[in-house]
Structure 1
């Protein structure tokens, strides 16, 4: 990514940075929350991507503010305790009871 940014004109480079920032803002939180297996991409990956953008040295004030906000979101995510997926509520605590009565052996 940084090789491309160094060889583009200023307006093209700013547009690429804008698109990259928008992409990160759109997918970072979803990726961090992931699924039962954990994050799809860890916070370290997103932090590296954001620092690469900062290292280009060609960010506008608005871009810097957005990247800073995303870095603060990463800090907050890492500071929060992550849910313990292995302590999920039992199936009997489901919001909706089964539509038919169950016998003791689980047979209808």
Structure 2
């Protein structure tokens, strides 16, 4: 999908970039963590999206800082080892204990 920006007035383009940055900030981390099948979208995808914003040019100082912060978050995410799902919560860490002790339960 070609995400190149069309020629817009300065304020319209700035608003579009602000919305794109806000969207990426909102969905990047959840999509990287994904689900049992792994990441929904890769770090390379998000890095490419952020570089496209930088290539669009004419970003304000606040927008540049926001994009830089998101790139640093990507770097940090890629530097951290990802835990296997089995290591996240052992069965003994259940939220609720059984309703009765195992020793008092009698089978009929």
TM-score class normalised by the smaller sequence: 0.7 to 0.9
Alignment partner, residue 8 of structure 1: 8
Deviation at 1:90, TM superposition (A): 4.6
Deviation at 1:30, TM superposition (A): 1.0
Aligned partners of 2:33, 2:64: CA distance in 1, in Å?
25
Q: Normalising by structure 2, what TM-score? A: 0.82
CA gap 1:92/1:65 in 2 versus in 1, 3 angstroms: closer
CA gap 1:58/1:84 in 2 versus in 1, 3 angstroms: same
CA gap 1:56/1:98 in 2 versus in 1, 3 angstroms: same
Alignment partner, residue 24 of structure 2: 24
- Say what the alpha-carbon RMSD is for the aligned residues: 2.1
Gaps of 5+ in 2: none
Residues 24-81 of structure 1, C-alpha deviations (whole Å, 9 max, x = no match): 0011111111112211111111000000000001211110000000000000000000
Q: Secondary structure at the match of 1:68?
A: helix
Aligned partners of 2:23, 2:37: CA distance in 1, in Å?
23
Deviation at 1:100, TM superposition (A): 4.7
Q: Normalising by structure 1, what TM-score? A: 0.82
Asked if 1:71 is matched to 2:77, the reply is no
Gaps of 5+ in 1: none
